[in-house]
Amino acid sequence: MALDALLQPVVLFFLLGAGAAFARSDLAIPEAVAKGISLYLMMSIGLRGGGEVAETGLTHDMLLAGGAGLALSFLLPLPAFWLLRTAGKLDRTNAAAVAAHYGSVSVVTFATGSELLRQAGMAPAGYMVGVLALMETPAIITGLLLARAKANDNLASRGGMLHETFLNGSVILLLGSFLIGMIDGKEGLVAVAPVFDVPFRGMLCIFLLDMGLIAARRLLDRRALTLRTAALALVLPLLNGTLGVVLGVELGLDAGSAAALGILAGSASYIAVPAVMRLALPAADPGLYLGMSLAVTFPFNLTIGIAYYGWLSAHLLPILAP
Amino acid sequence: MALDALLQPVVLFFLLGAGAAFARSDLAIPEAVAKGISLYLMMSIGLRGGGEVAETGLTHDMLLAGGAGLALSFLLPLPAFWLLRTAGKLDRTNAAAVAAHYGSVSVVTFATGSELLRQAGMAPAGYMVGVLALMETPAIITGLLLARAKANDNLASRGGMLHETFLNGSVILLLGSFLIGMIDGKEGLVAVAPVFDVPFRGMLCIFLLDMGLIAARRLLDRRALTLRTAALALVLPLLNGTLGVVLGVELGLDAGSAAALGILAGSASYIAVPAVMRLALPAADPGLYLGMSLAVTFPFNLTIGIAYYGWLSAHLLPILAP
Amino acid sequence: MALDALLQPVVLFFLLGAGAAFARSDLAIPEAVAKGISLYLMMSIGLRGGGEVAETGLTHDMLLAGGAGLALSFLLPLPAFWLLRTAGKLDRTNAAAVAAHYGSVSVVTFATGSELLRQAGMAPAGYMVGVLALMETPAIITGLLLARAKANDNLASRGGMLHETFLNGSVILLLGSFLIGMIDGKEGLVAVAPVFDVPFRGMLCIFLLDMGLIAARRLLDRRALTLRTAALALVLPLLNGTLGVVLGVELGLDAGSAAALGILAGSASYIAVPAVMRLALPAADPGLYLGMSLAVTFPFNLTIGIAYYGWLSAHLLPILAP
Amino acid sequence: MTSINRRRRIEVLADEPLISAIVRIAADIGIQHYTLLPTLGGAGSHGRWRDDQLSGATAKVMFLAVTGDDHAQAFADRLAPLLESHHMMLMLSDVDVVRGSRFA
Amino acid sequence: MTSINRRRRIEVLADEPLISAIVRIAADIGIQHYTLLPTLGGAGSHGRWRDDQLSGATAKVMFLAVTGDDHAQAFADRLAPLLESHHMMLMLSDVDVVRGSRFA
Amino acid sequence: MTSINRRRRIEVLADEPLISAIVRIAADIGIQHYTLLPTLGGAGSHGRWRDDQLSGATAKVMFLAVTGDDHAQAFADRLAPLLESHHMMLMLSDVDVVRGSRFA
Ligand SMILES: Nc1ncnc2c1ncn2[C@@H]1O[C@H](COP(=O)(O)O)[C@@H](O)[C@H]1O
Ligand SMILES: Nc1ncnc2c1ncn2[C@@H]1O[C@H](COP(=O)(O)O)[C@@H](O)[C@H]1O
Ligand SMILES: Nc1ncnc2c1ncn2[C@@H]1O[C@H](COP(=O)(O)O)[C@@H](O)[C@H]1O
Ligand code: NA
Ligand code: NA
Ligand code: NA
């Protein structure tokens, strides 16, 4: 599916945005529109996932995948932290902040991955949306523990950091939409499908155009990225993603869901985690963690990572599945 | 239809928004997007209503409903004013300002109500959109008379208050779209239906999510609301709505249209009227009238009021209809 | 097709916007939403045009039309400049700036024209989108030469004027989407058609509502427009458009494509060119060139011009076609 | 060296529906030129607000005008009695401009 | 003639996630009223930025408060040690207001 | 008590397409740090405007930079001859900052 995936409109629009930014064009999506589409994507993903779960009911696989997701989000920051400290030569605070990003997930990488997997006949199960929601925040806790962040820090203690972490708008919207999807079921959602289902892929194109612009502009202003950290921003998704796929296959998930677990593990947050880190670990450099997750890892996953996780899952399944 | 209505995605998204705001999440829809969707809803309602009227032509019912709407908007502020002065213990200015809100209408309550009635097989007639447009402004005039607002007030006289009242953007857009719908008719609108018809309900979901956030945030910051005024914000829609339904049934409207007249009478403005009041009656407290109409009456209508007006209309029709 | 065209929703919404602005209503589309829709229109036009070209492959007509478009954009400013200097009594700088606008094109005029032609059974060929993209910038060069703009001007030399010209966001987006359309072809675009194809006409309605508001407001504040320049803003599109149609028919294009070439030649830029002129020819009056192109020529083309170019093309074809 | 003149910078924070009235009051006094700036939210004696109000009735806009001392004083005198009742904030400060004659 | 009082205008440019903390610090000191203003972009010692950040983590907001000398000094003292580490900019200037008692 | 230094606050209101040129001019003079603020509309000698221009050609942006006296004067000298022809407004005022060495 590799080359095929690269030629999908979603990916091409990402490349168009990146190209425009590299050419230093003034092309820009209004911030309010981009924010609006990102909220739309979360509502849509949540509703569709919830609608599917309403059909299948609670299954064994679902619990396994949820547990695996939680464990990955809590634990993936640990090896990442070690790599960032040793190979990346980062100080404790920066290493911890970056590690938290890689334990958490990218909603748009998941959304794009699901579409590409669906295209390839490997649609992940609906409950993977729940796993996505579960994986957003645990890594933040691990990251803060790794940083040994003091609770009496001047701003974080005042800024309601825990709120930022657990009541983050995107997490609430995703979980809430998932719940609404479960309540109303697929038939209950028919009336809203013309907004939340049918146009999903087209909306993703517009959003990825914007992501291309933002990622490339960040890469151009990469004062915080060194060769070492940029390389780690390629290594970490590969390692984490492989781990995710293997774990998914071992747990007996279907090929699509195992690939999706790989995508989640391999992706890095650039929405929820940076907002918390700015407040909780202000000494960590946003240029570094956004540069790594947004400007290197995200494009890598979009163009190569997703295809690799899908390929890996399809090939491991016959060998490893229990 | 009561519980069923509560479990529709439109209502659930409203509750999700309210829940997020009560939990003090930072979830927010960009202002420009919310404004854009509100304009979309008015274009869509107008076009669809006009398209239906183009099919039926001018009927007797239409004129009756229009006259009833005008009368209601002009007169409903009177009993409301009396209640607000006596039971609500408000001063003249505040009572007049609030009364104007309850004489006028809420477009989104009407839109949601129409969808829920349609779902229950009681779709209101297309001309009710015209009635909606007619009911927006008369109550403002009654309110200003009740307040004995002086025309030589410093700012209002300069600010083009009459303009704000009669050329309010939302009224113009609604009426204009209604007219376009009448000109082009249902067939003429086929080409734009993928935007103005099919996605309506889904767009309403996004908008109601925002309404939930805004209403709940206003309730949290309810410094202007007392127990008395909050209670009146429940009593007024019930009284006005019942009056609207009874009048509609008496005039011989179909059950859906009579219910819609009840919804219009029972709803309170939070877009057109507050903007005029800020200018014309600056001494009136926006925290009070927005608190009542947006934070209490709107959620009440959405969750209970609409279902009640629909139920009342369906049960009164066999008894009262002429 | 004339009256019919006037009664299409797209045109009626333009008139509604204009009417609201003339009545001094406060109706306004949020800037971010209007910008978002304008980006959407360019993506959609590009994709659909590219998708069609992918089907037909590179043809002789395509090259002819492209060459004609380039030539028109480079040369149309010359007679326009002469007219503006003599009949319009403008100074060199202003005449050159205005001439550049009339050599370039208006994307929304093209989009509306294509829809109206399609409706009348004269859909232009997909490659005309490529011609549109080619015609955006050459006129700017001619305009700057006519103005004898000095390269060592204080701001222009610093502001990266060439960038503004050739990497203008809208040109890039249009060309990029056209390319993506060519790569993916019509089948590859099926999954995104619910966003980029089906809702196109409805989105155009919303955008034209905004254009009506903006054009009329500019006309109301027409301090820079004289009777002479306003008259030229009607004459120039007629002349250029006629030239475009005749050239298209002579080159053997089909009736729809020849009409589209007329629309392109007859339309005037109000997005890409003004931005460059503000920087490169600051002494030219933006009130003048935006007043002419946006407040006079655009409404003229929308209501009369497009219908005329279509009529002309249909009637010339049997007479002139080679 | 460019010659620079001291003028008064007037800023008024007011609810959006009041802005057109403020613009007219300024014009009456002779202040014809101004700039409007957006806001996001805030808090005052009448509570917190955010610029997400559907009605725009309580969304606020900043009116900015640079003008001479006399005009500024006249404007402040004219607006002062309205500040409390209309929930507005008025700020005056010194500012230096080039082309002083344009800011009389 | 309207009586006018000199006060201090505090402006802090800070990343959006920090604003709620700044509001609380101001409130602790006794500065309860403020206004938030949007920004578009800029450049500083930590590089360029644009307000198109998905996460909003590096989008900046301007916090504005008008207050008395003592409060302003206390606020500056409180914020000064954080400016460098949190990439903030603090500006203080003089401003004249009517109803001086509201801006103590 | 935090030590505070007086600096100059430069504000330029200019059409959006001119902003990148202004940023470069500032950089040439040595003013590397700045912030851009949005606007909504206004009126001047060239008529009224609103920030709804499709082309953005006449939408305006506020350029803000805090810097030392010399840089501010150099910037004003550089921009003054362009103000009239390019429909710009330049304002200079005093502002106090902490970490004065950053705003030289
Ligand atoms: N005295 C002033 N106070 C505030 N804003 C001004 C003033 N003069 C000009 N402006 C702004 O600068 C823009 C351009 O001014 P002008 O070149 O006079 O048209 C105007 O549209 C206003 O937004
Ligand atoms: N001291 C202040 N500093 C900054 N903004 C203020 C101040 N006082 C009032 N405001 C703004 O003015 C609005 C109205 O003030 P008030 O009438 O006191 O509610 C508030 O919501 C704030 O946005
Ligand atoms: N001298 C200055 N003038 C205006 N804005 C500044 C200045 N210094 C810093 N800023 C703003 O503050 C932000 C953070 O500054 P810094 O911590 O130096 O990166 C910058 O991105 C600018 O937007
Ligand atoms: Na991850
Ligand atoms: Na009512
Ligand atoms: Na042209």
- Complex prediction ipTM: 0.94
Type and span of the H or E element at C171: helix C169-188
Does D77 fall in a domain? yes
Cα B262 to averaged position of ligand 5 atoms, centre (Å): 8
Residue A284 near residue A219 (C-beta atoms within 8 A): no
> A276 to chain E: nearest residue by CA?
E17
Whether B158 has a pLDDT exceeding 60, the answer reads: no
Looking at ligand 1, which atom is closest to the CA of residue F84?
A: 17
- The pLDDT of residue B51: 94
* Cβ-based contacts of B169 with chain C (< 8 Å): 20, 25-28
| Ligand 3 pocket test target in E12, E13, E18 with most atoms within 8 Å of CB | E13
User: Which residues from chain C sit within 8 angstroms of residue A207, using beta carbons?
Assistant: none
> What integer is the mean pLDDT of A250-256?
95
Query: β-strands F60-67, F5-15: how paired?
Result: antiparallel
Average of per-residue pLDDT across C112-126:
94
CA angle A195, A198, A202 (to 5 degrees): 95
Looking at beta carbons, which residues of chain B come within 8 Å of A35? 30, 33
Q: Which two tokens stand for residue B65?
A: 């409903």
Task: Give Cα E57 distance to the centre of its chain.
Answer: 18
Q: Averaged over A162-167, what is the pLDDT?
A: 69
Neighbours of ion ligand 6 (CB under 5 A): C 267
Comparing B153-167, B195-209, C66-80, C90-104, which segment has the lowest mean pLDDT? B153-167
Query: Which region among B180-184, C5-9, C97-101 has the lowest average model confidence (pLDDT)?
Result: C5-9
Residue C291 DSSP one-character state = I
How does DSSP classify residue B137? S
Neighbours of D13 (CB within 10 A): 21
SS (H, E, C) chain A: CHHHHHCCHHHHHHHHHHHHHHCCCCCCCCHHHHHHHHHHHHHHHHHHHHHHHHHHCCCHHHHHHHHHHHHHHHHCHHHHHHHHHHCCCCCHHHHHHHHHHHHCCCHHHHHHHHHHHHHCCCCCCCCHHHHHHHHCCHHHHHHHHHHCCCCCCCCCCCCCHHHHHHCCHHHHHHHHHHHHHHHHHHHHCHHHHHHHCCCHHHHHHHHHHHHHHHHHHHHHCCCCCCHHHHHHHHHHHHHHHHHHHHHHHHCCCCHHHHHHHHHHHHCCCCCHHHHHHHHHCCCCCHHHHHHHHHHHHHHHHHHHHHHHHHHHHHHHHHHHCC
Q: Is C211 helix (H, G, I), strand (E, B) or coil?
A: helix
Q: Which residues of B233-258 are buried (b: 16+ CB within 10 A; e: fewer)?
A: bbebbbbbbbbbbbbbbebbbbbbbb
The mean of the pLDDT values for chain B is 91
Which tops the pLDDT comparison, F63 or A163? F63
pLDDT band, very low/low/confident/very high, at C2 (cuts 50, 70, 90): low
CATH of the domain at C300: 1.20.1530.20
Maximum CA extent, chain D:
50
| Placement of tokens 């229109």 in the chain | C41
Q: How far is the CA of E102 from the centre of ligand 2 (A)?
A: 9
Q: What CA–CA distance (Å, rounded) separates C236 from C58? A: 32
Residue E3 in domain: no
3-state SS, B43-79, equals HHHHHHHHHHHHHHCCCHHHHHHHHHHHHHHHHCHHH
With 0-12 CB in 10 A as exposed, 13-18 as middle and 19+ as buried, what is D23? buried
User: Is residue D8 one of the residues assigned to a domain?
Assistant: no
Q: Nearest 5°: phi and psi at B293?
A: -75, -40
Record the tokens describing residue E23, joined without a space: 């509001």
Residue with tokens 């006060």: E7
Residue range of the domain that includes F53:
16-93
Quote the ligand 1 centre to C225 CA distance (angstroms).
Answer: 21
Q: How many CB atoms lie within 10 A of CB D35?
A: 20
Q: Which phi and psi (to 5°) does residue D95 adopt?
A: -150, 145
Q: Which residue has the higher pLDDT, F85 or E36?
A: E36
Give the residue on E whose Cα is nearest the Cα of F95: E93
* The pLDDT of residue A153 is above 60: no
pLDDT band of residue B293 (cuts 50, 70, 90) is very high
Q: With respect to residue F98, please indicate whether it lies within any of the assigned structural domains.
A: no
Residue with tokens 């409203």: B14
Higher pLDDT, E79 or B163: E79
Q: What's the distance, Cα to Cα, between the start and end of chain E in Å? A: 22
How deeply is B58 buried, as exposed, middle or buried, from its count of CB atoms within 10 A (0-12, 13-18, 19+)? exposed
Instruction: Say how many Å lie between the CA of residue E41 and the centre of ligand 1.
Output: 22
Where does residue A284 fall: left (phi above 0), alpha (psi -120 to 50 degrees), or beta otherwise? beta
Whether residue E99 has pLDDT greater than 90: no
Q: What does the longest C-alpha to C-alpha distance in chain E come to?
A: 50
Amino acid code (one letter) for C71: A
Tell me how crowded residue B219 is: count the other CB atoms within 10 A of its CB. Answer: 18
Q: Flag whether E22 is in a domain.
A: yes
Judged by CB atoms within 8 Å, which residues 201-220 of C form the interface with F? 210-211, 213-214, 217
**Strand, coil or helix: F12:** strand
Q: Structural domain tally of chain A?
A: 1
Burial profile A100-135: b = 16 or more Cβ within 10 angstroms, e = fewer? bbbbbbbbbbbbbbbbbbebbebbbbbbbbbbbbbb
**Contact check, Cβ <8 Å, E66/D89:** yes
E52: pLDDT strictly greater than 80:
no
- Do the domain assignments include residue F45? yes
Q: What's the confidence (pLDDT) of residue D53? A: 61
The chain F residues in contact with chain D (CB within 8 A) are 13, 37-45, 60, 62, 73, 76-77, 79-80, 83-84, 89-94
Q: Which of A266-275, C219-228, F80-89 has the lowest mean pLDDT?
A: C219-228
What's the rounded mean pLDDT across residues D69-86? 93
E45 alpha carbon, distance to own chain's centre? 19
Cβ–Cβ gap F44/D36 under 8 Å: no
Which tokens belong to C87?
């009949």
Residue A30: which residues within 8 A CB-CB, separation 6 or more? B32, C31, C32, C33, C35, C36
Alpha carbon distance F20, F22 (integer Å): 5
Question: Which atom of ligand 1 is found nearest the CA of F41?
Answer: 23
Q: What is the pLDDT of residue B162?
A: 64
Note whether A97 and A159 are within 8 A (CB).
no
User: Which residues between 137 and 156 in chain A have a beta carbon less than 8 angstroms from any beta carbon of chain E?
Assistant: 154-156
- For residues E82 and F99, is the Cβ–Cβ distance under 8 A? no
Of all helices (H) and strands (E), which one includes residue D20? helix D19-29
- DSSP reduced 3-state for C126: coil
Q: Which residues, 6+ apart, have CB-to-CB distance to B78 below 8 Å?
A: B99, B142, B146
For chains F and B, having 3+ Cβ pairs within 8 Å is answered no
| In contact, A269 and A101? CB cutoff 8 Å | yes
CATH code: domain of residue D66: 3.30.70.120
Helix (H, G, I), strand (E, B) or coil at B154: coil
Lowest mean pLDDT among A236-245, B242-251, C223-232: C223-232
Q: What separation in angstroms does the CA of A319 have from each of A102, A254, A322, C72, C242? A: 28, 13, 9, 64, 70
Q: What is the pLDDT of residue C171?
A: 87
**Does residue E44's CB lie within 6 angstroms of at least one atom of ligand 3?**
yes
Global pTM reads: 0.94
- pLDDT > 70 in chain B, percent: 93
Q: What residue in B sits closest to A33 (Cα-Cα)?
A: B33
Q: Which amino acid is at B105?
A: V
Q: How far apart are CA B308 and CA B132, in angstroms?
A: 19
C-alpha torsion C5→C8→C12→C14, nearest 10: -70
Structure tokens at B6: 């509560």
Q: What is the dihedral of CA A123, A127, A130, A136, to 10 degrees?
A: -40
Distance CA C50, CA C133 (A): 12
Domain of A60 in residue numbering reads as: 2-320
* Closest CA relative to residue E57, chosen from E16, E85, E19, E14: E16
**A76 CA to middle of ligand 4, Å?**
7
Q: Three-state SS for E93? A: strand
Contact B43 C7 (CB under 8 A): no
pLDDT of residue B150: 61
Contact A97, A143 (CB under 8 A): yes
Tens of pLDDT, residue by residue over A96-145, are 999 999 999 999 999 999 999 999 999 999 999 999 999 998 999 999 99
Tell me how close the Cα of B156 comes to any Cα of chain D, in angstroms.
7
How many domains does one find in chain D? 1
Environment class of C151 (CB within 10 Å of its CB; exposed 0-12, middle 13-18, buried 19+): exposed
Indicate the top mutation candidate among F8, F10, F33 to test ligand 3's pocket, ranked by most ligand atoms within 8 A of CB: F33
DSSP secondary structure letter of residue B159:
T
